Structures are given as C-alpha cells and as structure tokens.
C-alpha cells in the first residue's frame, strides 16, 4: 500500500504518523530474482524474539534484503528446513 499510515487528527500534533506499513518490497517482474524486501519488525515479528528488531536499522536507512524465488538459492542459504505434513 503506497503511503500507508495513520494519524490521530487531533491534539497538538494532529498529523503525526503513529503507524505505517510493516513490510516493504520491490518486485522485479522482468527478473524476479532481483526482487528485494524489508520487514520493520525484523525476521520474527514477535516482540519477545531476539530477532524482533534485527532489521530495524536497515528499515530506517531504506535498505533492502535480496529475495530470490529460486528454490536452490533458498536452500543454499537456509539454516534448516521445517516440513509440515498433514496427519491424514
């Protein structure tokens, strides 16, 4: 969502932004492996996780992380794999 944000609209600073989009991405449809992203709340997004704000400084500097759609590249950079299999 472009220019997503919210403001109180009253008080001493009625136009002060109080929240905004948490995920930013640039998708290159001509070369999907050149797409990039950043998440304001870090890798986990969970307040109690040690990874909660690990991407915050990148977010503040408007920097991004590469996002490849190539499964082989994803596996090569993975720390592990979690498989979810239905019981039936």
pLDDT in tens for each of the 88 residues of the chain? 566 677 777 888 887 776 667 788 999 899 988 899 998 877 777 888 888 888 888 988 989 999 888 888 888 888 888 899 999 7
Supply the pLDDT for residue 23.
Answer: 85
Supply the pLDDT for residue 36.
Answer: 94
Contact 48, 32 (CB under 8 A): no
Supply the pLDDT for residue 3.
Answer: 62
Query: Kind of pairing, strands 36-39 and 23-26?
Result: antiparallel
């Amino acid at each position: 969502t472009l220019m997503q944000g919210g403001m109180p609209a009253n008080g001493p600073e009625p136009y002060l932004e109080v929240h905004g989009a948490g995920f930013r991405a640039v998708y290159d449809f001509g070369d999907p492996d050149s797409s990039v992203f950043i998440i304001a709340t870090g890798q986990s997004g969970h307040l109690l996780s040690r990874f909660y704000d690990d991407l915050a400084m990148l977010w503040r500097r408007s920097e991004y992380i590469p996002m490849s759609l190539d499964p082989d590249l994803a596996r090569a950079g993975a720390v592990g794999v979690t498989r979810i299999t239905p019981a039936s």
